[in-house]
Amino acid sequence: MTSLDIDPSEILVRYNVKMEKAMTPEDAAAELYPKDELYRPIAEAIFEGEEDDVIEGLEKAIDAGKNPIALIDDALMVGMKVVTDLYDQGVIFLPNVMMSADAMLDGIDFCKEQSDEAPVSKGKVVCHVAEGDVHDIGKTIVAALLRANGYEVVDLGRDVPVDEVIEAVKAEKPIMLTGTALMTTTMYAFKAVNDRLLEAGLKVPFACGGGAVNQDFVTTYELGVYGEEAADAPKMADKIVAGAGISALKEEFHKH
Amino acid sequence: MAINRYTKMAYGSADEMIFGKSKFPVKAGLGLEIGGGYTTPEVNYAPRPEAGASKEKLVKEYQRITTDIMNRMVQVGFPAVVLETEHVEQMTNNPTWGGEVAHAQKTIMEEFHDEYGIKCALRHTPGDIREDRDFLELRGDKFNTLMESFEEVASNGADLLSIETMGGKEVFDYSILRNDVPGMLYAIGCLGTMDMDFIWQEIASVAKKNNVVAAGDTDCSEANTAMFIAGGLLDKNLAHTLAIIARAISAPRSLAAYEAGAVGPGKDCGYENTIVKSIAGVPIAQEGKSSTCAHSDVMGNLVMQCCDLWSNESVEYHAEFGGTSVQCWSESLAYDCALMNTATATGKAKDLRDLFTLSDKYRDPQGYVLAYDNAYRVGEAIVKDGNDIYLRAKNAALKSIEIMEEGVAGKLELTRFEKGALADAKAALGALTDDQDTFMSDCMSKYKEEVKVFLPENYGL
């Protein structure tokens, strides 16, 4: 390069450096872990994303007399909430959430194997990628964040025919349906899903986002609620559980 | 066609690299020489969704788009333009649709060329349709349909053939969400390159048969996925230091097209193209501040530094205050090119190049590594082990880390989080073997178990 150079502070601001919180993720997590000596190692293992340590902690808790199904809410979900809270606060990043969610799901499977009871989730959400669209990393993130926040996810996968979406909503009776699409050409399937749901009298909130999907488009159909970020999905579900209808969701999440 | 790996650099030094000129210019279309001493706008567009309802509607839509762009170019006095048609899936899955669109577009471009003498070329980019609902299906019936699509567009007017292939994406999508740098290396550097070797020999054959240009590929499906997940400065989805490591690894992967017979210009969204140009000397398309209609990035000026074509990535065809969207964006691109070409004509090109670079070099680690002086160094690391697709990708990753560490000692500011991710990545790469067979074998076992949709037969494994 030529000798030309510049003091970058004259032309740009690294806001992320300027705004970074002083506390390390580990210190922030340590303040949030449960105090119970049986639950705390499980929560720590969730935060670290260490599946084997999660199982080991669960085994110890069960040996000590804890109910395996109760451990899902009392230890696994508590540990996961540490992770999702720190993600929402901007202290940790998405891959940490994904790895913790993997560990949590292994833990839930283990707890289920140890009991005849079925756990109760916060609510059921059906997720899909629009018909004709095979780009599914956005849906993968949405599903993981929903599970991380205690929701049961029915993942229909990618390139899901409209008929299949409608049948799943009829069968599963979810509190919310999500649809993601990368391409403008495939996102029109969302309108068809909306129309078919209305025909069937199924007024379920339909959270849509991804790639070329925008608020203007989602506003054109009655059940649509636009999610700008994957992290909006569990927040919408929380609002629905708290009693919000589609209008209230649009009011809150349609930011533009 | 044979695979000829690059083991040396096309340029003697980074300073020789400049916009508008490439070591090996490419003649294409109606009077264009890409990389022959001037930059040219490359306009990219998407039809309105309702136009996809039938072949007739699609053809009509592309006729409107093409006429609008060509009209605006001559109205404002621009000497040259490239049009890129990225297929909607119907056009690739029904090869004759793509062929008819190419023919309709080229007919209009020929009319403008004949009447006004404007230099122009048409790039067609079929979609990588090689997958079904659950799995990638890189070899088989869908591959055959894809090749028919290339044949149809090449024989009906397309001058430049490109694609954005997806080899390795199933493992990459899993790895990038788990900070798994060895997984990214396996996905992009190994699986991606193997698929590039496979498909680009075929595309080059189609191009040769039809006397058109096998242009190039981009790692859009992987490195751009990383860049978009990383997002802006305040997004919390991926460390930007990891996004640029994925980008560095993507350079030898995109280079593979030229090793299999492609000659450029590389595709616009390949932000790895400065590295590729330093090695292969091929002309490249780039996008940055001009593609904000499609997405944001953090190096909008910097990527102009060595471009030969200057693109807007994609814009949906619709009305704006200043005309249709394609008219507005083509005019904006063409004015940028006029400035670059003025700098060339007045002997100021290197000054302008360095201004482009400096305006973004310290904005983000991605721009820092892709600044042409540093990009050149990544290129050197790649050719050092150019015959080993694993080692050269690993070298690119390690060199990008070294460059960022140097930057931190200077004017590049990183957050503690970004530095932590960088240190973790360095440790993970440092723990890897230097033996390709061992790495491939270890990764095959790991990802077959962890990634349910990974089918080794897609890569001939």
Last residue of a domain, one of A114, A141, A176: A114
Contacts of B415 in chain A (CB under 8 A): 16-17, 20
**Nearest-CA neighbor of B340 among B70, B37, B83?**
B37
Give the residue on B whose Cα is nearest the Cα of A159.
B133
What's the start-to-end Cα distance of chain A, in Å? Answer: 43
Distance of CA A6 to the CA centre of its chain: 42
Residues 6+ apart with CB under 8 A from B455: B135, B136
Residues 6+ apart with CB under 8 A from A116: none
Average pLDDT (B42-59) is 93
Taking the CA of residue A222 and the nearest CA in chain B, the distance in Å comes to: 20
Alpha helices in B76-116 (DSSP H): 89-93, 95-116
Contacts of A99 in chain B (CB under 8 A): 178-179
Average pLDDT (B31-40) is 98
Say what the pLDDT of residue A4 is.
85
- Residue B318, judged by CB atoms within 10 A of its CB (0-12, 13-18, 19+), counts as exposed
- Residue B131 sits at φ, ψ, to 5 deg, of -160, 155
Q: Do both A84 and A129 map to the same domain?
A: no
Examine residue A4 and state whether it is found in any structural domain, yes or no.
no
For residue A68, the domain's CATH number is 1.10.1240.10
Say what the pLDDT of residue A211 is.
85
pLDDT band per the 50, 70, 90 thresholds, residue B96: very high
B358 close to A (CB below 8 A): yes
Q: Mark yes or no for CB contact B362/A16 under 8 Å.
A: no
B406 close to A (CB below 8 A): no
Contacts of A184 in chain B (CB under 8 A): 46, 49, 316
Residue B54 has pLDDT above 70, yes or no: yes
User: Taking the CB of residue A22, how many other CB atoms lie within 10 A of it?
Assistant: 6
Range of the domain at A67: 21-114
Q: Mark yes or no for CB contact B131/A134 under 8 Å.
A: yes
Last residue of a domain, one of A114, A132, A167: A114
Examine residue A231 and state whether it is found in any structural domain, yes or no.
yes
Which range, of A49-53, A208-212, B387-391, averages the lowest pLDDT? A208-212
How far is B351 from B401, CA to CA, in rounded Å? 28
Residue B90 has pLDDT above 60, yes or no: yes
Name the residue among A4, A12, A94 with its Cβ closest to that of B354: A4
B56 membership: H or E segment, kind and range: helix B55-75
pLDDT band per the 50, 70, 90 thresholds, residue A20: confident
Q: Mark yes or no for CB contact B358/A6 under 8 Å.
A: yes
**Nearest-CA neighbor of B267 among B9, B46, B84?**
B84
- Residue A117 sits at φ, ψ, to 5 deg, of -80, 160
Tokens linked to B159: 């001058």
pLDDT band per the 50, 70, 90 thresholds, residue A134: confident
Strand ranges across the sheet with A176-180: A152-155, A124-129, A176-180, A206-209, A224-226
Contacts of A185 in chain B (CB under 8 A): 46-47, 49, 52, 88-89
Distances in whole angstroms, Cα of residue B56 to Cα of each of B49, B66, B120, B178: 14, 15, 25, 45
Residue A2 has pLDDT above 70, yes or no: no
Q: Do both A130 and A110 map to the same domain?
A: no
Q: Do both A133 and A97 map to the same domain?
A: no
* pLDDT tens track for B337-384: 999 999 999 999 999 999 999 999 999 999 999 999 999 999 999 999
Q: Which of A26, A102, A137, A158 to mutate to test the interface with B (most CBs of B within 10 A)?
A: A137
Average pLDDT (A94-107) is 94
Examine residue A11 and state whether it is found in any structural domain, yes or no.
no
Residue B123 has pLDDT above 70, yes or no: yes
Residue A230 has pLDDT above 70, yes or no: yes
How far is B331 from B70, CA to CA, in rounded Å? 10
| β-pair partners for B311 | B42, B287
**Nearest-CA neighbor of B48 among B329, B290, B332, B314?**
B314
Name the residue among B15, B173, B316 with its Cβ closest to that of A137: B173
pLDDT band per the 50, 70, 90 thresholds, residue B313: very high
Q: Mark yes or no for CB contact B415/A159 under 8 Å.
A: no
Tokens linked to B384: 């050092």
Residue A3 has pLDDT above 80, yes or no: no
Examine residue A14 and state whether it is found in any structural domain, yes or no.
no
Last residue of a domain, one of A81, A114, A147: A114
DSSP three-state, residue B32: strand
- Residue B399, judged by CB atoms within 10 A of its CB (0-12, 13-18, 19+), counts as buried
A-contacting residues of B 247-306, CB under 8 Å?
none
How far is B221 from B257, CA to CA, in rounded Å? 15
How far is A224 from A215, CA to CA, in rounded Å? 9
User: Any idea where the domains of chain B sit in the sequence?
Assistant: 14-454
* pLDDT tens track for B215-265: 999 999 999 999 999 999 999 899 999 999 999 999 999 999 999 999 999
Q: Do both A217 and A183 map to the same domain?
A: yes
DSSP three-state, residue B327: helix
Question: Is residue A253 a contact partner of residue A225, using CB atoms and an 8 Å limit?
Answer: yes
What does DSSP assign to residue B136?
A: B
Distances in whole angstroms, Cα of residue A98 to Cα of each of A24, A155, A175, A207, B426: 19, 16, 23, 21, 21
Q: Do both A162 and A249 map to the same domain?
A: yes
User: Taking the CB of residue B438, how many other CB atoms lie within 10 A of it?
Assistant: 12
B453 close to A (CB below 8 A): no
Residue A1 has pLDDT above 60, yes or no: no
Name the residue among B133, B316, B355 with its Cβ closest to that of A184: B316
Contacts of B88 in chain A (CB under 8 A): 183, 185
Question: Is residue B419 a contact partner of residue B408, using CB atoms and an 8 Å limit?
Answer: yes
How far is B53 from A23, CA to CA, in rounded Å? 54
Output the CA torsion A209→A210→A213→A214 (10° steps): 60
Number of domains in chain A: 2
Give the residue on A whose Cα is nearest the Cα of B377.
A1
Q: Which of B11, B128, B175, B177 to mutate to test the interface with A (most CBs of A within 10 A)?
A: B177
Contacts of A158 in chain B (CB under 8 A): 133
Q: Do both A104 and A191 map to the same domain?
A: no
How far is A68 from A74, CA to CA, in rounded Å? 10
Q: Mark yes or no for CB contact B178/A94 under 8 Å.
A: no
Residue A146 has pLDDT above 70, yes or no: yes
Contacts of B361 in chain A (CB under 8 A): 8
pLDDT band per the 50, 70, 90 thresholds, residue A182: confident
Average pLDDT (B156-177) is 97
Give the residue on B whose Cα is nearest the Cα of A134.
B133
How far is B202 from B210, CA to CA, in rounded Å? 13
Taking the CA of residue A41 and the nearest CA in chain B, the distance in Å comes to: 22
Question: Is residue B369 a contact partner of residue B414, using CB atoms and an 8 Å limit?
Answer: no
Residues 6+ apart with CB under 8 A from B401: B245, B422, B425, B426, B429
Q: Do both A68 and A35 map to the same domain?
A: yes
**Nearest-CA neighbor of B289 among B280, B278, B300?**
B300
B60 close to A (CB below 8 A): no
Contacts of B418 in chain A (CB under 8 A): 16
Output the CA torsion A17→B178→B187→A16 (10° steps): -10
Q: Mark yes or no for CB contact A14/B178 under 8 Å.
A: no
Contacts of A1 in chain B (CB under 8 A): 14-15, 354, 357, 371-373
Chain A residues whose C-beta is within 8 A of a chain B C-beta are 1-2, 4-8, 11-12, 14-17, 19-20, 24, 87, 90, 92-96, 98-99, 102, 132, 134, 136-137, 140-141, 144, 157-159, 183-185, 187-188, 212
Name the residue among A15, A16, A94 with its Cβ closest to that of B237: A94
Question: Is residue B287 a contact partner of residue B43, using CB atoms and an 8 Å limit?
Answer: no
Q: Mark yes or no for CB contact A158/B225 under 8 Å.
A: no
Examine residue A110 and state whether it is found in any structural domain, yes or no.
yes
Q: Do both A164 and A248 map to the same domain?
A: yes
Instruction: Specify the pTM.
Output: 0.95
Say what the pLDDT of residue B186 is.
98
DSSP three-state, residue A117: coil
| Chain A, chain B: beta-carbon pairs less than 8 Å apart | 99
